[in-house]
Amino acid sequence: MHKPALFPLSGLAYRHTIARACTKTLNKMISILGCSGVGKSTIIKEIVSLEDQWVVLEENVNEVLEPLSNISFDSPYQKFIATQERFLERDILELNQGSQYSLFDNRLTEYIFYLLHHPDYLNRIDESRMRLSSSIERIIADNRIRSFYLSDSIDNIEARVISDHTRSRSFWSYFMEHFFPFHEEWHSKNGARVIPINDRNPKEIAVEILNAL
């Protein structure tokens, strides 16, 4: 497997990422990140059970993909850029108008990661970054967001994926091949706090996240 280089955000965006960890604001926004099957939904439910003021913004990719399905594009790359732009714009709208207590389920910087690491467009990373630079800057610059990356071993995650029949996990094999080896590292370098899952109680993890705000 070809491993693309990590592309941490640089310059102003990177400084905002560092500052975000040190800034306290009245508004609170949580971003829960991690690969499919790691247990994001379970932890989010525990957070809401502990503090019910949180408004969960689910991943819900069809909300973006379905309106684009009938639009013609000049090339697959143009469709890719338009799709990622819609994902980022959706989150920026939530940042501008959303709840004081917003909880993002695998959104925000996850879309930036996907934009910069899609295996079909590794030769166009600089172009992709330039095209959506204002959206990237807007999300990275928001110092209300606290990002947490849920981490576990590949064996534990695969076991959950196999045993979970409540939803489709068709993207998992593609994700494992192209993204898993450096997914956690990229998010960590770009401001996310890594939370080990292992066999810990989900409520314990939720408490750790809330205490870190």
Q: Identify the residue with better confidence: 172 or 51.
A: 51
Judged against a pLDDT cut of 90, whether residue 133 lies above it is answered with: yes
How far is the C-alpha of 191 from the C-alpha of 145, rounded, in Å?
A: 10
Judged against a pLDDT cut of 80, whether residue 72 lies above it is answered with: yes
Cα end-to-end distance, the chain, whole Å: 37
How far is the C-alpha of 88 from the C-alpha of 132, rounded, in Å?
A: 9
88-119 tens-digit pLDDT: 999 999 999 978 899 999 999 999 999 999 99
Q: What is the reported pLDDT for 15? A: 42
Q: Residues 108-145, buried b or exposed e (16+ Cβ, 10 A)?
A: bbbbbbbbbbbeebeeebeebbebbeebbebbbbbbbb
How far is the C-alpha of 52 from the C-alpha of 96, rounded, in Å?
A: 22
Whether the CA torsion 95, 44, 194, 168 is positive or negative: it is negative
Residue-range domains of the chain with CATH: 17-211 (3.40.50.300)
| Beta bridge mates, 102 | 29, 55
Number of alpha helices (DSSP H) and beta strands (DSSP E) in the chain: 11, 5
How far is the C-alpha of 36 from the C-alpha of 171, rounded, in Å?
A: 8
138-173 tens-digit pLDDT: 999 999 999 999 999 989 988 888 887 777 777 778
